[in-house]
């Protein structure tokens, strides 16, 4: 499926984005191995999260949909059943990596597979530390499939994160619930902390210590996990595309309701405010996962050198950030973003290709990019952009087309459904001229 997008004078309105993908994955997993019934409100029904849900259905979990709620009948920390076939995670890197931390502790074997894109993504980053814990887990030369067999016991380890990855951290923390002793993760770059926050909501003891340059997270073996009712806020990563749209479409004024503003997720917000973006946070609700309504107005942006400390917690928003930088006045420099090369596509290369098609001067480096912005009065060339089947490249390119000099086509957009199944509908609600073809 392709998207055809026409430029617009402005966008306006009030919208809500779907539930947070990262939190949905974690809520489904923990509710499944909790004792008793949990109620999850605001679950993202994108393909990635549905794949995680289906995996647990294959292991005996009963899910009941009630309006906007998902009721999960937890079976306890050791209550999962052996699946009858390989567990297919589709396109979900979060799903397969986090679930591996749970599956290595089961008394049955599992084979974990995914689609062609997921099958090209690195798995050694979890296989190696999980093996250090005593897991019997193997990969296909660092790629899928993963084969997991029962092991006598797991032991807690202290592990410094070599890659700034919340997925690796979370896989080890989940495995730590089954391991003797303590499991401690040390990170020198702050990654998403949704696992740490949701552990608390399920009554799992977790210790987080921070120093100036290091953060350590420690868990111990759990005898049981309490059921819990979880309210999942709007996904900030999904909201970022509409933040971008309101910033770059002239005379725009947009309100996005009930968006998660967890401090480990809003690097994009800090970065674009530094560029001059007019964004107000209204109706702030504090809690385990804080939320706010975001009011965005069209803004003149200026180029910046992105603080490398923000990169790890805006990795999914980087395609949107590159588009914002392309319409800024001056040059934007991004370094320390090599992790983008290991996502659903090589996002650095994919975005370099997109900027080339849009007529933006740039230099691609191994760990980032230098972007020479067109300025507030600039416009992109109407062109054909190949998203390479990456949902975030597809959405960022579609929003960029609002400032093109004619109708643009974005190719291979089917995977938008992995994270944002109603993306096109919301676009149309606020005046974006987009067609599926």
Q: What angle do CA 424, 322, 300 make, to 5 degrees?
A: 90
**Between helices 124-132 and 166-176, what is the axis angle to 10°?**
30
Q: Which residue has the tokens 């089947």?
A: 389
Pairing of strands 110-113, 87-88: parallel
143, 126 contact by CB (below 8 A): no
Q: Which residue among the candidates 2, 48, 258, 316 is catalytic per the annotation?
A: 316
Q: What are the b/e assignments for 206-239, b being 16+ CB within 10 Å?
A: beeeeeeeebebbbbbbeebebbebbbbbbbbbb
In terms of Cβ atoms closer than 10 Å to its own Cβ (0-12, 13-18, 19+), residue 377 is exposed
User: Distance (Å, rounded) from C-alpha 167 to C-alpha 97?
Assistant: 6
| All residues at 6 or more sequence positions from 368 whose CB lies less than 8 Å from its CB, including other chains | 333, 334, 335, 336, 337, 338, 348
| Nearest alpha-carbon partner for 3 in 431, 424, 415 | 424
| 332, 373 contact by CB (below 8 A) | yes
Task: Say whether 425 is catalytic.
Answer: no
Q: Are 365 and 335 in contact (CB under 8 A)?
A: yes
Side-chain-side CA neighbours of 334 within 13 Å: the count stands at 34
CB 239 within 8 A of CB 259: yes
Task: Pick the closest to residue 235 from 4, 1, 22, 399 (CA basis).
Answer: 22
64 exposed, middle or buried (CB, 10 Å; 0-12, 13-18, 19+)?
exposed
Alpha carbon 377 to chain centroid, angstroms: 32
Asked if 373 and 359 touch (Cβ cutoff 8 Å), the reply is no
CA distance 271 to 307: 8
Contact criterion met (CB below 8 Å) for 302 and 273: no
Catalytic residue numbers read 316
């Amino acid at each position: 499926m392709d998207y055809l997008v026409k430029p617009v004078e402005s966008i306006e309105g009030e919208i809500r984005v779907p539930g947070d993908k990262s939190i949905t994955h974690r809520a489904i997993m923990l509710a499944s191995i909790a004792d008793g019934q949990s109620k999850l409100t605001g679950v993202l029904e994108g393909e990635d999260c549905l794949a995680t849900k289906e995996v647990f259905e294959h292991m005996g979990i009963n899910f009941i949909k009630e309006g906007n709620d998902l009721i999960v009948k937890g079976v306890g920390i050791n209550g999962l059943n052996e699946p009858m076939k390989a567990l297919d995670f589709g396109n979900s890197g979060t799903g397969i990596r986090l679930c591996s931390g749970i599956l290595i502790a089961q008394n049955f074997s599992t084979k974990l597979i995914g689609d062609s894109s997921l099958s090209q993504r690195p798995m050694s980053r979890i296989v190696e530390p999980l093996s250090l814990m005593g897991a019997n887990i193997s990969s296909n030369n660092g790629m899928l499939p993963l084969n997991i067999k029962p092991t006598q016991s797991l032991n807690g380890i202290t592990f410094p994160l070599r890659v700034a990855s919340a997925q690796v951290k979370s896989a080890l923390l989940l495995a730590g619930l089954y391991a003797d002793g303590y499991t401690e993760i040390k990170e020198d770059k702050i990654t998403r902390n949704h696992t740490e926050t949701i552990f608390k909501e399920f009554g799992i003891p977790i210790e987080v210590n921070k120093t100036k340059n290091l953060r350590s997270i420690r868990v111990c073996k759990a005898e049981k996990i309490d059921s819990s009712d979880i309210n999942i806020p709007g996904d900030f990563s999904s909201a970022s595309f509409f933040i971008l749209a309101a910033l770059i479409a002239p005379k725009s004024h947009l309100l996005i309701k009930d968006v998660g503003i967890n401090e480990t997720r809003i690097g994009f917000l800090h970065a674009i405010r530094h560029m001059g973006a007019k964004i107000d946070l209204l109706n702030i609700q504090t809690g385990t996962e804080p939320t706010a309504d975001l009011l965005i107005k069209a803004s003149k942006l200026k180029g910046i050198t992105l603080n490398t400390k923000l990169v790890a917690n805006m990795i999914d928003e980087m395609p949107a950030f590159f588009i914002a930088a392309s319409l800024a006045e001056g040059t934007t420099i991004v370094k320390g973003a090599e992790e983008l090369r290991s996502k659903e596509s090589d996002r650095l290369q994919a975005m370099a290709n997109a900027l080339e098609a849009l007529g933006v001067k740039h230099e691609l480096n191994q760990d980032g990019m230098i972007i020479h912005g067109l300025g507030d009065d600039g416009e992109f060339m109407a062109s054909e952009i190949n998203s390479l089947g990456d949902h975030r490249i597809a959405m960022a390119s579609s929003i960029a087309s609002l400032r093109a000099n004619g109708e643009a086509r974005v190719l291979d957009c089917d995977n938008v459904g992995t994270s944002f199944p109603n993306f096109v509908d919301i676009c149309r609600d606020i005046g974006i001229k987009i067609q599926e073809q």
